[in-house]
Amino acid sequence: MLTTARMHVRPIRAEDVDALHALWTIPAVRRYLWDDEVLPKEEVAAIIDRSSACFVDRGYGFFALELKESADLIGFCGYREAAENTDQIELLYGIHPDHWGEGLVAEAARAVLRHGFETCQMNRVVAATDTPNQQAVRVLQKLGMVFDARRQFHGLDTVFYSMSRDDFQSIYDV
Protein backbone atom coordinates (compact mmCIF):
# COMPACT_ATOMS: atom_id res chain seq x y z
CA MET A 1 0.00 0.00 0.00
CA LEU A 2 1.16 3.51 -0.83
CA THR A 3 0.11 6.53 1.20
CA THR A 4 -0.21 10.17 0.21
CA ALA A 5 -1.24 13.18 2.28
CA ARG A 6 -4.93 12.54 1.58
CA MET A 7 -5.21 8.98 0.30
CA HIS A 8 -4.49 5.32 0.69
CA VAL A 9 -3.32 3.95 -2.67
CA ARG A 10 -3.61 0.17 -2.67
CA PRO A 11 -3.67 -2.53 -5.35
CA ILE A 12 -7.13 -3.08 -6.81
CA ARG A 13 -8.70 -6.38 -5.81
CA ALA A 14 -11.63 -8.62 -6.71
CA GLU A 15 -13.91 -6.92 -4.17
CA ASP A 16 -13.52 -3.65 -6.11
CA VAL A 17 -15.36 -4.91 -9.19
CA ASP A 18 -18.66 -3.16 -8.35
CA ALA A 19 -17.01 0.13 -7.35
CA LEU A 20 -14.74 0.16 -10.43
CA HIS A 21 -17.60 -0.80 -12.72
CA ALA A 22 -19.67 2.06 -11.31
CA LEU A 23 -16.75 4.49 -11.78
CA TRP A 24 -15.84 3.29 -15.26
CA THR A 25 -19.41 3.50 -16.54
CA ILE A 26 -19.89 7.16 -15.58
CA PRO A 27 -20.17 8.86 -19.00
CA ALA A 28 -17.70 11.64 -18.13
CA VAL A 29 -15.12 9.07 -16.95
CA ARG A 30 -15.44 6.51 -19.74
CA ARG A 31 -15.44 9.20 -22.43
CA TYR A 32 -11.66 9.31 -22.43
CA LEU A 33 -10.75 6.28 -20.35
CA TRP A 34 -12.35 3.50 -22.36
CA ASP A 35 -13.09 5.44 -25.58
CA ASP A 36 -16.70 5.80 -24.42
CA GLU A 37 -17.22 2.03 -24.30
CA VAL A 38 -19.34 0.67 -21.44
CA LEU A 39 -17.33 -2.19 -20.00
CA PRO A 40 -19.35 -5.16 -18.73
CA LYS A 41 -18.62 -6.30 -15.17
CA GLU A 42 -16.88 -9.38 -16.57
CA GLU A 43 -14.33 -7.17 -18.35
CA VAL A 44 -13.80 -5.12 -15.19
CA ALA A 45 -13.17 -8.38 -13.31
CA ALA A 46 -10.71 -9.45 -16.05
CA ILE A 47 -8.86 -6.13 -15.75
CA ILE A 48 -8.60 -6.66 -11.98
CA ASP A 49 -7.32 -10.22 -12.54
CA ARG A 50 -4.66 -9.00 -15.02
CA SER A 51 -3.60 -6.25 -12.62
CA SER A 52 -3.33 -8.70 -9.71
CA ALA A 53 -1.22 -11.07 -11.82
CA CYS A 54 1.00 -8.16 -12.88
CA PHE A 55 1.57 -7.22 -9.21
CA VAL A 56 2.65 -10.80 -8.51
CA ASP A 57 4.91 -11.01 -11.58
CA ARG A 58 6.29 -7.47 -11.79
CA GLY A 59 5.34 -5.54 -8.65
CA TYR A 60 3.00 -3.11 -10.38
CA GLY A 61 -0.54 -2.83 -11.71
CA PHE A 62 -3.57 -0.66 -10.96
CA PHE A 63 -4.04 0.94 -7.55
CA ALA A 64 -7.36 1.94 -5.97
CA LEU A 65 -7.53 5.50 -4.67
CA GLU A 66 -9.26 5.83 -1.31
CA LEU A 67 -9.64 9.00 0.71
CA LYS A 68 -8.23 8.49 4.20
CA GLU A 69 -11.32 10.06 5.73
CA SER A 70 -13.84 7.70 4.11
CA ALA A 71 -12.01 4.69 2.59
CA ASP A 72 -14.39 4.91 -0.40
CA LEU A 73 -12.86 4.04 -3.77
CA ILE A 74 -12.88 7.31 -5.71
CA GLY A 75 -10.51 6.44 -8.54
CA PHE A 76 -7.59 4.39 -9.73
CA CYS A 77 -4.05 4.96 -10.94
CA GLY A 78 -1.39 2.58 -12.09
CA TYR A 79 0.40 0.76 -14.84
CA ARG A 80 -0.31 -1.58 -17.71
CA GLU A 81 1.58 -2.60 -20.82
CA ALA A 82 1.17 0.17 -23.38
CA ALA A 83 -1.50 -0.64 -25.95
CA GLU A 84 0.71 -0.07 -28.97
CA ASN A 85 4.00 -1.42 -27.68
CA THR A 86 4.19 -4.09 -24.99
CA ASP A 87 7.79 -3.12 -24.24
CA GLN A 88 6.51 0.12 -22.75
CA ILE A 89 4.75 0.65 -19.45
CA GLU A 90 1.81 3.05 -19.53
CA LEU A 91 0.51 5.19 -16.68
CA LEU A 92 -3.28 5.24 -16.61
CA TYR A 93 -5.67 6.94 -14.18
CA GLY A 94 -9.23 8.03 -13.61
CA ILE A 95 -11.17 9.64 -10.79
CA HIS A 96 -14.81 10.28 -9.97
CA PRO A 97 -15.99 13.65 -11.36
CA ASP A 98 -16.93 14.76 -7.82
CA HIS A 99 -13.17 14.97 -7.19
CA TRP A 100 -12.01 16.60 -10.41
CA GLY A 101 -9.84 19.66 -9.90
CA GLU A 102 -8.77 18.72 -6.35
CA GLY A 103 -5.26 17.59 -7.31
CA LEU A 104 -5.90 14.04 -6.12
CA VAL A 105 -4.92 12.36 -9.40
CA ALA A 106 -1.57 14.17 -9.51
CA GLU A 107 -0.99 13.32 -5.84
CA ALA A 108 -1.69 9.63 -6.46
CA ALA A 109 0.26 9.56 -9.73
CA ARG A 110 3.37 10.97 -8.02
CA ALA A 111 3.22 8.12 -5.48
CA VAL A 112 2.65 5.57 -8.25
CA LEU A 113 5.53 6.97 -10.33
CA ARG A 114 7.79 6.82 -7.26
CA HIS A 115 6.78 3.18 -6.77
CA GLY A 116 7.47 2.41 -10.42
CA PHE A 117 10.86 4.08 -10.61
CA GLU A 118 12.18 3.27 -7.13
CA THR A 119 10.62 -0.07 -6.20
CA CYS A 120 10.03 -1.65 -9.62
CA GLN A 121 13.15 -0.09 -11.18
CA MET A 122 11.29 1.08 -14.31
CA ASN A 123 13.44 3.06 -16.71
CA ARG A 124 10.66 4.85 -18.59
CA VAL A 125 6.91 5.35 -18.29
CA VAL A 126 4.59 6.55 -21.06
CA ALA A 127 1.11 8.06 -20.98
CA ALA A 128 -1.40 8.89 -23.70
CA THR A 129 -4.66 10.76 -23.77
CA ASP A 130 -7.12 12.04 -26.30
CA THR A 131 -6.04 15.58 -27.21
CA PRO A 132 -9.39 17.14 -26.18
CA ASN A 133 -8.91 15.77 -22.64
CA GLN A 134 -7.06 18.83 -21.44
CA GLN A 135 -7.56 17.95 -17.76
CA ALA A 136 -5.46 14.82 -18.30
CA VAL A 137 -2.88 16.77 -20.30
CA ARG A 138 -2.52 19.25 -17.42
CA VAL A 139 -2.00 16.37 -14.96
CA LEU A 140 0.73 14.86 -17.15
CA GLN A 141 2.43 18.26 -17.46
CA LYS A 142 2.09 18.90 -13.71
CA LEU A 143 3.81 15.56 -13.07
CA GLY A 144 6.73 16.67 -15.26
CA MET A 145 6.09 14.25 -18.08
CA VAL A 146 7.54 15.31 -21.44
CA PHE A 147 5.46 15.70 -24.61
CA ASP A 148 6.56 13.15 -27.22
CA ALA A 149 4.05 13.27 -30.09
CA ARG A 150 0.57 14.08 -31.31
CA ARG A 151 -0.96 11.68 -33.82
CA GLN A 152 -3.93 9.54 -34.69
CA PHE A 153 -4.25 6.45 -32.50
CA HIS A 154 -7.23 4.12 -32.86
CA GLY A 155 -8.81 6.82 -34.99
CA LEU A 156 -8.50 9.47 -32.27
CA ASP A 157 -6.37 12.60 -32.03
CA THR A 158 -3.97 11.53 -29.26
CA VAL A 159 -1.05 13.09 -27.40
CA PHE A 160 1.79 11.00 -25.97
CA TYR A 161 3.98 11.86 -22.99
CA SER A 162 6.81 10.08 -21.20
CA MET A 163 9.09 10.27 -18.19
CA SER A 164 12.40 8.57 -17.56
CA ARG A 165 13.73 7.52 -14.18
CA ASP A 166 16.39 10.25 -14.49
CA ASP A 167 13.67 12.85 -15.19
CA PHE A 168 11.72 11.67 -12.15
CA GLN A 169 14.79 11.81 -9.92
CA SER A 170 15.73 15.31 -11.06
CA ILE A 171 12.17 16.65 -10.61
CA TYR A 172 11.47 15.00 -7.28
CA ASP A 173 15.01 15.25 -5.81
CA VAL A 174 15.40 11.53 -5.25
Nearest to 5 by CA among 141, 153, 107, 147: 107
What does the pLDDT look like over 129-169, one tens digit per residue? 999 999 999 999 999 999 999 999 888 899 999 999 999 99
What does the pLDDT look like over 68-83, one tens digit per residue? 999 899 999 999 987 6
Amino acid at 173: D
Please give the CATH number for the structural domain made up of 2-171. Answer: 3.40.630.30
Nearest to 12 by CA among 70, 57, 51, 53: 51
Residue 174 confidence (pLDDT): 60
What does the pLDDT look like over 8-63, one tens digit per residue? 999 999 999 999 999 999 999 998 888 788 999 999 999 999 999 999 999 999 99
Q: Is the pLDDT of residue 84 over 70?
A: no
d(C-alpha 87, C-alpha 31), whole Å: 26
Residue 81 confidence (pLDDT): 86
Sheet containing 156-164: order of strands = 2-3, 7-11, 62-67, 73-81, 89-95, 124-130, 156-164, 146-153
Q: Where are the domains of the chain?
A: 2-171
